[in-house]
A = this chain, B = another copy of it.
Amino acid sequence: MHRTKVKVAEDALDANTTIANANRGDFDRDGVAVVNLMSAPGAGKTSLLEASLRDLDGPRVGVLEGDVQGSMDADRLSAMHIPVVQINTDNGFGGECHLDANMVRTALPDMDLGAIDLLVVENVGNLVCPAEFKIGEDVKAMVTSVTEGEDKPLKYPLMFRSCELVVINKIDLLPHLDFDLDKFLDNVDTVNPGVRTMLISARTGEGVEAFRDWLVGVGERAPARA
């Protein structure tokens, strides 16, 4: 007897996974490792990239910049002679609040994957939806700022849980804030036990070396070019 095979129709998230896998295939073919870098608005993703890519000795890096509108961050990185492609998400009614796999896919023809080893995708500033959409990345990482308060890991648990690195930026401001760093680290560990954290100031350069080393390490995860 044959059993009827039932195939459930793909929903929107399944479609995203399908496209993310296609992106992954392209990255693998060209031997490119991919970081999905996320944060709240203004936490300092671009400043961290500026500070860490300036003296990067290792992988050749390209950046996909996700923003609702404008290309200010892309322009900052282009000025450093880094290949950058801007993705604007404002085609929706008020702009999409995240990148999905298809937006990344749309941008790939403008990025020469053969000329880079590491692609950093700077997502739209948002602590919710970016964590929900795979884009074909090797690793998700996030930047959080000590100005945002100790409670953020508990309020946005999926974001903190989905990342393998939590970069804590703006530590130069700690003396001027009522921010309990130990409590914050406890909250991070509660939602993502054992996750790696890094204390940095993109402004003063403190701790940036550790992030640079981490980027080099991710670059080394890239498969050999096919």
List, in ascending order, chain B residues with CB within 8 A of A132's CB: 93-94
> Taking each of A40, A70, A203, which has the highest tally of chain B beta carbons within 10 Å of its own beta carbon?
A40
Nearest-neighbor residue (CB-CB) of A173 within chain B: B176
> What string of 1s and 0s marks CB contacts (under 8 Å) between A173-216 and chain B?
10011100000000000000000000000010000000000000
Main secondary structure of the interface of A (DSSP, over half): loop
Contacts A72-B151, A156-B68, A178-B203; A41 near B96 (Cβ below 8 A): no
State whether A147 touches B42 (Cβ < 8 A). yes
| Residue in B126, B149, B172 whose CB lies within 8 Å of A126 | B126
| Residue in B72, B95, B176 whose CB lies within 8 Å of A176 | B176
> What string of 1s and 0s marks CB contacts (under 8 Å) between A48-72 and chain B?
0000000000000000000111101
State whether B40 touches A155 (Cβ < 8 A). no
Does A111 belong to the interface (CB within 8 Å)?
A: no
Query: Which residues of A does B touch, CB under 8 Å?
Result: 13, 40-42, 67-70, 72, 93-97, 124-129, 131-132, 145, 147-149, 151-152, 154-158, 170, 172-173, 176-178, 203
